[in-house]
Structure 1
Amino acid sequence: MASNKPAPEAPSRFNPGYGTEPGGDFTTEFTADFTGEFTTEFTGEFGNDFRADGNGEPERGWDEWNPTEESVRPVRGRHRVAKQRNGLARSSTVLGVGVIAAVGAGGMASAQSKPPVSISVPDSISDNLPDAKSLPGVGSLFSDESEPDKAEIAAASAPLTTAGLTTAEAEQGATDAGEALRARILQQAEQQQDAADAEAKAAQEKEAAEKAAAEAKKQQDEAEAKAAAEKKKAEEEAKKKAEAARLAKLAASYAIPTFSYTITSTYGQAGSMWSSGYHTGLDFAAPTGTPIKAVHGGTIKSAGLAGSYGYRTVLELEDGTEIWYCHQSSIGVSAGQKVTTGETIGRVGATGNVTGPHLHLEVHTADGTGIDPMAWLRGKGLNI
């Protein structure tokens, strides 16, 4: 079981008998002055006549020492500290270094939290500073031939707030990068607005131009259509006039086969009176003996009795067309005779298969095909 006997007390300078025993002690004396010099003195013999093997003085009894405010005197000025081998003396040095480190760390922390302090150099010092060119090894870095540009000096000496400023902005008096950026943004916005306005104006002008062009084209088309209609109308009128002139000319060269007549039967009229089942010519009913005329100049191809046609005269025109005059009471020409327009070639009669006196007129083309006599006569400018 562990003993509660107090541990032996180490020699202490606070013991009244400390340092008076024979043999002296080994002490380290230092003087803590401003220069930090230490003084070491050696007194007495090593060991203080104290031997651990028991060969020295008999072991003394140790009493428990409890330091109090009265028993502990403050250490001031020059004092002594017992040198020990356990590194207790060096601990004070470590403590001092820790205090210095703590103070330094505190200073750094406080320096980081405090606002920056401007440092200015007095004019008396700045005026006495040597020229940079006169310093050894520095003057060669400067060229006498080229001096620094004023703009470069101004840019180098400008505050950080002027970073990003252009030369034009600097010349206009801009000194703050934020204000310059704001001015650039406003200028860019104004330019974009101007571009948008110009684009809108161009679009309006384009739309107005297209509308005006469309209106002009519409008016032009209307004018052209009107002119074309008028031209067409004029052409039609001219054509009608030309046709009328042609018919008038033809009428002068063609004549109606008889006069004082009445149209009683037309071409293609159906009926049992005709052997073919339909009428093949045009009937001019007139009194017997009414003169029959040549419709156009030509040659008499035949003249004589022709069965159901009675007395018939065939007139051949220059283009080969044949005009048949039938049911005549008398014939006034003979075959091979030349006749002119309007010349009398016979008389109206009732010979052949008839119901009364009339002129049966037929028209045949050069190939012998029968056609409508009324249409052919009207085509020659004659009004039947």
Structure 2
Amino acid sequence: MASNSPAPEGTDVQEQPTAGAWGEWNPTEDSVRPLRGKHRVLKQRGGLARSSTVLGVGVIAAVGAGGIATAQDRPQVAISLPSLSGVLGGEDDAADTAGSGTDAVGVRAEGTRTGIVPRQADRSADAGELLRSRILQQADSQHEAAAAQERAETERAAQEAAAKEAREAQETARKAAEAAAAEQVAKEAREAEEAKAAAEAKAEQERVAKSAGSYALPTSAYTLTSHYGDSGSMWSSGHHTGLDFAAPTGTPVKAVGGGKITSAGWSGAYGYRIVLELPDGTEIWYCHLSSMSVTGGSVAAGDTIGRVGATGNVTGPHLHLEVRVGGSTVDPLAWLTARGLNV
């Protein structure tokens, strides 16, 4: 039989009679009842298991009195047990014992056999609940941290998308502004060019209109050699159809009035010829030219249109001038004189 350690100091254990006074101790069925319920035996570290029976207490008392005696010749006696509150650790355990309806021996046996003090069991339950609470709290914290990180990532992605969209919109607006500015510059350039061309055309029209009321001699430093109507075998029609202004080759030939050039080029017996049409439809022919300064467009009175030459059917350098009204030739001398020119 395993021996038990002495009861701790301060517990409510009554002093047991010595072996000489009581003799043998014989527990009865009334003093020892069977244990109730399911119990676990807690193994102790580094020593023998603690006994949970009243017999252990009796053994301690007997050993302290000087030995173990047999209990066959002794009468049954009642013994007192230590306070359960001191052994089990508190009033709560004693209350549990009183409320269970068992005697002190049965409760002590139950408590010591299982090796678990009720308060310690409560504390273990509280510790387990606290651990579970901490684990759940940690899981919630991790979940909240993950959710916060996800929200932060979502917000960051949204901010980046918004910033990118803003940059793209800004770039689009900048390109649109540059395109609009370039278009405006091009438009202004076109308008300026058109305005310039219109001003030049208007100035030309005004110059031509102004010169239409004025007239100029066809050349200078000349000598009249043949007049309109002169007859002779040198002309195919038998008579001269124009007025000849003899002058050195290269002498400037000028427009007698404002008008437009309708023809310029080689013309057989006339050599190089320029035809000037006046606003009233009158045509002025400049023949036997050595060169032509203009070949088309509008000219004003006094503008140089060519040079005196000797091209075509000629006997020397001169300007053959013809004036045609309605397709028929007229006397150039009379026509120029009628326009206030002193030929």
TM-score range (shorter-chain normalised) is 0.3 to 0.5
* TM-score in terms of structure 2 length: 0.38
More helix by share: 2
Q: Which has the higher contact order (CA 8 A, sep 6+)?
A: 2
TM-score (norm 1): 0.34
Question: Which protein shows a greater Rg?
Answer: 1
